[in-house]
């Protein structure tokens, strides 16, 4: 094991000596490692991305508060993420080089999927995210630190996109004119949810804000919802952000960075499955929220495509890139999904209406 990891792990009480520490998972933001101790106990070690999460105290304070609150509502250890404190009693460790590290207990006997293997898996992920939002409905939202302001303010994401486009620091804009035009043609519509929120027509709730399928764990045996992970972006937000981001990732028929775009569609079957699961777990959604579910799916997908395009134009600084052009490929799948949703718009609304009537 690399000396750097030994030094970091020595600061956490793992109950036994760690014997391995290997890169793990497919997240785009933090560096994640699987740690195994001599006795076979497993942990997740993460180097927190403190370029993106600038206030580590605020970030970790949110996670501690939310996990403590959730733990009061269940006795099942695997249903809530558990942080392992440092020997000094802190929720994370700062190293002399400025890097910040945290450790979670590994959620055992679980699966974390990149794609649903069956519609039932996707249904259960909807239940997990729906219940998460439901369990936090009385959480004092004003005590949460707003870790990334305007995270899902799609109008603001366009402002940043325009700024980067104007500077075009890598000279890449000329190669992606169709993508730029696709984004700009939808700029006005992109503000729909922000405007409804500002007009008081949609309620602000405590939401997860990053509801990818690989941010939820299912029980390996029963394949039922177990626990929601990746709590970095828990903040006040719209239920439509959580619904929409799940559809964007999990109802797609191909990978987020698939290059063969003919493989990419938004599956109406999976859209219906997720809608049913989410509505069953969140019975308190308002009429306007229900009516806007298709718009949530479309705008979260559009926004993510614009973010990938912005990062591509900017030189790939934000999202982890494992190969050249990956952000552009990701942008293209998102825009393909948006176009597909536009074609399936009436059907998406019909599915929501039917699911809402039970
Ligand atoms: P990122 O913010 O980079 O997406 P995540 O917190 O989502 O990082 O972690 C990346 C991956 O690590 C997850 O998709 C999951 O596979 C795995 N993971 C994270 N936390 C745990 C945990 N407590 N137990 C088991 N697996 C975990
Ligand atoms: C990032 O952390 P991860 O990989 O679950 C990103 C999300 C994007 C997603 C796109 C903090 O999620 O907002 O939707 O990539 N997280 C952050 O796959 O920016
Ligand atoms: Mg993640």
pLDDT, one tens digit for every residue, the chain (358 residues): 888 899 999 999 999 999 999 999 999 999 999 999 999 999 999 999 999 999 999 999 999 999 999 999 999 999 999 999 999 999 999 999 999 999 999 999 999 999 999 999 999 999 999 999 999 999 999 999 999 999 999 999 999 999 999 999 999 999 999 999 999 999 999 999 999 999 999 999 999 999 999 999 999 999 999 999 999 999 999 999 999 999 999 999 999 999 999 999 999 999 999 999 999 999 999 999 999 999 999 999 999 999 999 999 999 999 999 999 999 999 999 999 999 999 999 999 999 999 999 8
pLDDT at 36: 98
Ligand 2: residue of 24, 28, 150 to mutate (most ligand atoms within 8 A of CB) is 28
Strand partners, 225: 218
- Radius of gyration, alpha carbons of the chain: 20
* DSSP-derived pairing of the beta strands 83-84 and 100-105: antiparallel
In angstroms, the CA 38 to CA 217 distance is 25
Instruction: State the Cα–Cα distance between residues 74 and 219, nearest whole angstrom.
Output: 16
The span from the CA of 12 to the CA of 175, in Å, is 48
Based on DSSP, count helices (H) and strands (E) in the chain, helices before strands.
13, 11
Q: Whose CA is nearest to atom 19 of ligand 2?
A: 29
Q: Which ligand is nearest to the CA of 23?
A: 1
pLDDT score recorded for residue 358 = 83
**Ligand number with the minimum distance to the CA of 301:** 2
Q: What confidence score (pLDDT) does residue 3 get?
A: 82
Vertex 123: Cα angle to 322 and 341 (nearest 5): 65
| CA end-to-end distance (rounded Å), the chain | 54
Q: What is the pLDDT of residue 1?
A: 84
Cβ(261) – ligand 1 distance below 6 Å? no
User: What are all long-range contacts of 105-108, with beta carbons under 8 Å and residues at least 24 apart?
Assistant: 105/43, 105/44, 105/81, 106/34, 106/41, 106/42, 106/43, 106/44, 107/78, 107/81, 107/217, 107/226, 107/227, 107/229, 108/42, 108/78
Give me the phi and psi of 135, to 5 degrees please: -70, -20
**With contact defined as beta carbons under 8 Å apart, do 244 and 275 qualify?**
no
For residue 26, the ligand 2 atom closest to its alpha carbon is 4
Give the separation between CA 89 and CA 112, rounded to whole angstroms: 29
Q: Which domains does the chain have, with CATH numbers?
A: 3-108 (3.30.200.20), 119-356 (3.90.1200.10)
319-322: Cβ within 8 A, 24+ apart: 319/28, 319/29, 320/27, 320/28, 320/29
Q: Which atom of ligand 1 is nearest to the CA of 31?
A: 3
Ligand 1 within 6 A of CB of 30: yes
pTM value is: 0.97
Residues 6+ apart with CB under 8 A from 165: 173, 180, 310, 313
């Amino acid at each position: 094991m690399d000396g750097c990891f030994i030094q970091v792990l020595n600061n956490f009480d793992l109950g036994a000596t760690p014997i391995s520490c290997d890169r793990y998972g497919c997240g785009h933001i933090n560096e994640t490692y699987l740690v195994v101790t001599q006795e076979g106990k497993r942990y997740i070690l993460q180097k927190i991305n403190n370029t993106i999460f600038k206030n580590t105290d605020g970030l970790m304070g949110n996670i501690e508060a939310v996990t403590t609150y959730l733990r009061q509502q269940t006795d099942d250890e695997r249903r809530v993420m558990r942080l392992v404190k440092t020997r000094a009693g802190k929720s994370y460790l700062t190293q002399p080089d400025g890097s910040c590290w945290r450790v979670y207990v590994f959620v055992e006997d679980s699966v974390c999927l990149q794609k649903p293997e069956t519609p039932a898996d996707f249904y259960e992920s909807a239940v997990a995210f729906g219940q998460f939002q439901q369990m936090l409905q009385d959480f004092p939202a004003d005590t949460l630190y707003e870790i990334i302001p305007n995270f899902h303010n799609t109008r603001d994401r366009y402002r940043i996109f325009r700024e980067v486009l104007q500077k075009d620091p890598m000279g890449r804009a000329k190669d992606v004119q169709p993508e730029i035009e696709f984004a700009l043609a939808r700029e006005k519509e992109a503000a729909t949810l922000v405007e409804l929120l500002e007009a008081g027509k949609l309620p602000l709730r405590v939401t997860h804000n990053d509801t990818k399928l690989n941010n939820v764990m299912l029980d390996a045996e029963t394949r039922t919802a177990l626990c929601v992970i990746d709590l970095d972006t828990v903040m006040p937000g719209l239920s439509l952000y959580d619904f929409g981001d799940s559809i964007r990732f999990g109802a797609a028929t191909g990978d987020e960075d698939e290059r063969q775009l003919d493989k990419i569609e938004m599956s109406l079957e999976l859209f219906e499955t997720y809608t049913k699961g989410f509505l069953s777990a969140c019975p308190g959604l308002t009429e306007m929220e229900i009516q806007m579910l298709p718009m949530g799916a479309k705008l979260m997908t559009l926004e993510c495509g614009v973010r990938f395009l912005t990062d591509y134009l900017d030189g790939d600084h934000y999202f982890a890139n494992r190969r050249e052009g990956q952000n552009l490929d990701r942008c293209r799948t998102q825009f393909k999904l948006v176009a597909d949703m536009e074609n399936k718009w009436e059907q998406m609304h019909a599915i929501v209406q039917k699911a809402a009537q039970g």
